[in-house]
Amino acid sequence: MQLSKSEEELMNILWKQQKAFLKDLLDAYPEPRPAPTTIATLLKRMTDKGFVAYKSSGRSREYYPTVKKKDYFSKHVNGLIKNFFNDSASQFASFFTQEADLSKTELEDLKKLIDQELKKK
């Protein structure tokens, strides 16, 4: 299951804060902030999708992510590779290195990461 753009924005705030009340989440938004009802609706949808859970504290709810950021984006990237690059990580890497306008230093860093993974295998 996937998050909408506005849900992803809220999820990024929640991942950063790890747990938060509605007011904390609202305060993390830049001006103009969304309405509290908008955030509450997003949280409800995200809870229904299984991305967020909460603990009741009196009349308030403290929200926390149930999905790790790394896991969510890993699934996203793998879907991107499957759907747009014929399930070929090599095609994705080729596109990424050519189109991302990476500096020589960034490319060398990527090469080091790949070399480290090769040593593990």
Rounded CA separation 104/121 (Å): 26
Rounded CA separation 40/22 (Å): 7
Integer distance in angstroms from the first to the last C-alpha of the chain? 31
Is pLDDT of 26 > 90? yes
Is pLDDT of 1 > 80? no
Contacts of 68 (CB under 8 A, 6+ apart): none
Rounded CA separation 94/91 (Å): 5
User: pTM of the full predicted structure?
Assistant: 0.76
DSSP per-residue codes, 11-68: HHHHHHHSSEEHHHHHHHSPSSPPPHHHHHHHHHHHHHHTSEEEEEETTEEEEEESS-
Mean pLDDT over 18-44 rounds to 96
* The pLDDT value given to residue 97: 85
pLDDT digits (tens, 9 = 90+) for 63-121: 999 999 999 999 888 888 988 899 898 888 888 888 888 889 998 998 898 899 889 88
What structural domains does the chain harbor?
A: 5-65 (1.10.10.10), 69-120 (no CATH)
